[in-house]
Amino acid sequence: MAAEKAPLVPYKFIGRSYENTDPFWTVRIQVKRSSWHEVAEAYIEWLGDADADNEADREGGTVTYLLEPQDLRLWKELVMYLYTQRPGIRWEHVLEPGRVALAPSLPPLNVAASNEGELDIVRLDTVKSEQVHMRMGGRLAMGKLNLLVGDPGDGKSWASMAIASGFTNGAALPGETDGGEPVEVLLANFEDDIADTIRPRAEAVGVQLGRLHVITGAYDQDGRIRPFHTSDLPKLEEVLDNNPNIRVMIVDPVMSLVGSRTDVYRDNEVREALHPLVELARTRKIMVIGIMHLNKGTATKAIYRVSSSLGGFVGMARSVLLVAKDPDSKRRAMAHIKCNVGPLAEPLEFEISSWGVAWLGDAPDLSADRLLAPAAAPEKREAEEFLKRELSNGPKPSKQIEEQAEGEGITRGTLMRARKSLHIGVAKERKVDGRWLWALPQHSTLLERMARGDD
């Protein structure tokens, strides 16, 4: 590349002095195809022209990049980041003006102290805005960690397999009109047998079996299968290199992935253990769905019932979905209890049967608080069923409802408790001697219109 000569710029770097006689610096970076490979690519794309001399040395197990950044400060940040954060990279200095090579075989330079105590600060105008790609009607985020949480037996694994079916078939998920192209799914399941549970479940929900890959563990040095955990993610990077059509990863349960040495009740340890998984999702732009159990607590807010570390698991996840059954009707639903990248979606009702999973649509009455509430007394359940039946076609005057309830032996106190638990809407007609009206949540718009006197 031809360029005008620039004035000499003394530039001290890791204890050695270089002089820049050209506005363009060339850096050749060689990285092993493992966890830092994607990081190098991302920085190269950010700093300069990644298409200039991009070649792969397969036999040597390395990838070589030729980079020509124009900003020495950014060049220094790149080299320092790769060296301090990716210790598998080794350096050598090529005796050509402005050229530095990094290779995996030469001894490292000791530069650990060169950025000790410095802050990693990014100027916001150098960051390109990105929009998070949401799926399933805003319930699941691509490139992020998502959680499905619930008690054993409430349908988390079935729901996740039904989601996998949608992806492998290219079918629209609930809340979507188009599912896009079929993609492959990676399942790390540490509880169920692959032959008598995972495959029958996948077949029942219609998964394209050739697009579902199951991790059953990792080999130890003696050739035996051991549990898969985050220390194996560099090997997983190689799997993703060889299978670029894998766009979704399900970890069931995600607690097993963090390893036995992690104290799952300490936020800082959980965050550190999950960080490689979160980075994998971000750099690869894949959706990661972690399955978790609820704890045995009695917290009133659903998000505090997520097992163990709240700030760790819930804090690292961008979207959290509760899978549970209504304590009285036993209807199943998926309730959105956290989302950092968009609004919360409506609860989604579904059924599980011998022939698979059926998505039944939005169910506003099956909120997270409702799903985790204790079972109602028989009298209250009777009153709730009465209100659902009487208000199923739209708003009614409260006086009429109370008179009918009394006729069926339902006391006013029980009726009011049932009204509160069902989130019955209340409004008064805006006219002289206007009546009080009651309506189920799904009829809230009609209730407002009737209160205003609209036709």
- Structure confidence at residue 9 (pLDDT): 29
Average pLDDT (3-25) is: 33
Q: List where CATH 1.10.10.10 sits in the chain.
A: 378-452
SS3 at position 358? strand
- Structure confidence at residue 185 (pLDDT): 97
Lowest mean pLDDT among 13-17, 76-80, 261-265: 13-17
- Structure confidence at residue 57 (pLDDT): 38
Name the band, by pLDDT with cuts 50, 70 and 90, for residue 299: low
Q: Alpha carbon of 239 to those of 25, 219, 234, 257, 403: distances in Å?
A: 34, 15, 9, 17, 67
Q: How far apart are CA 421 and CA 305, in angstroms?
A: 20
Q: Which residues contact 169 (CB under 8 A, 6 or more apart)?
A: 179, 182, 206, 207, 208
Percent of the chain with pLDDT over 70: 69
Residue 83 has pLDDT above 90, yes or no: no
Tokens of 265: 């009740």
Lowest mean pLDDT among 133-142, 232-241, 305-314: 305-314
The residue among 362 and 227 whose pLDDT is bigger is 362
Helix extents (H) in 374-443: 378-390, 398-407, 412-421
Percent of the chain with pLDDT over 90: 35
Name the band, by pLDDT with cuts 50, 70 and 90, for residue 178: very high
The residue among 35 and 376 whose pLDDT is bigger is 376
Q: Which residues contact 35 (CB under 8 A, 6 or more apart)?
A: 86, 233, 234, 237, 276
- Structure confidence at residue 62 (pLDDT): 40
* Residue pointed to by tokens 């409004």: 427
- Structure confidence at residue 60 (pLDDT): 39
Average pLDDT (247-276) is: 81
Q: How far apart are CA 256 and CA 388, in angstroms?
A: 42
Name the band, by pLDDT with cuts 50, 70 and 90, for residue 84: low
Residue 74 has pLDDT above 60, yes or no: no
| Closest C-alpha to 367, from 410, 403, 322, 329 | 322
Residue 428 has pLDDT above 60, yes or no: yes
* pLDDT per position as a tens digit, 141-160: 999 999 999 988 899 999 99
Name the band, by pLDDT with cuts 50, 70 and 90, for residue 311: low
Q: How far apart are CA 78 and CA 67, in angstroms?
A: 11
Backbone angles phi, psi at 221, to 5 degrees: -65, -15
Residue 423 has pLDDT above 80, yes or no: yes
Q: List where CATH 3.40.50.300 sits in the chain.
A: 134-372
* End-to-end CA, the chain: 74
The residue among 61 and 314 whose pLDDT is bigger is 314
* pLDDT per position as a tens digit, 275-297: 888 999 999 999 999 998 887 76
Average pLDDT (244-256) is: 91
SS3 at position 106? coil
The residue type found at 448 is E
Q: Which residues contact 137 (CB under 8 A, 6 or more apart)?
A: 173, 174, 175, 176, 345, 348
Residue 243 has pLDDT above 50, yes or no: yes
SS3 at position 302? helix
- DSSP characters over 9-53: EEEEETTEEEEE-SS--EEEEEEESSTTHHHHHHHHHHHS-TTTT
Q: How far apart are CA 254 and CA 293, in angstroms?
A: 10
Fold of 134-372: Rossmann fold (3.40.50)
The residue among 349 and 111 whose pLDDT is bigger is 349
Q: Which residues contact 298 (CB under 8 A, 6 or more apart)?
A: none
* pLDDT per position as a tens digit, 322-357: 999 988 888 999 999 999 999 999 999 999 988 899
Q: Is residue 287 a contact partner of residue 142, using CB atoms and an 8 Å limit?
A: yes
Average pLDDT (40-62) is: 41
Q: How far apart are CA 327 and CA 441, in angstroms?
A: 19
CATH class of residue range 378-452: mainly alpha
Residue 398 CA, chain-centre distance (Å), reads 44
When the pLDDT of each residue in the chain is averaged and rounded to a whole number, the result is: 75
The residue among 375 and 138 whose pLDDT is bigger is 138
- Structure confidence at residue 125 (pLDDT): 83
Average pLDDT (197-210) is: 96
Residue 306 CA, chain-centre distance (Å), reads 15
Q: Is residue 383 a contact partner of residue 410, using CB atoms and an 8 Å limit?
A: yes
Average pLDDT (54-59) is: 38
Q: Which residues contact 177 (CB under 8 A, 6 or more apart)?
A: none
Q: Alpha carbon of 140 to those of 245, 369, 381: distances in Å?
A: 18, 21, 33
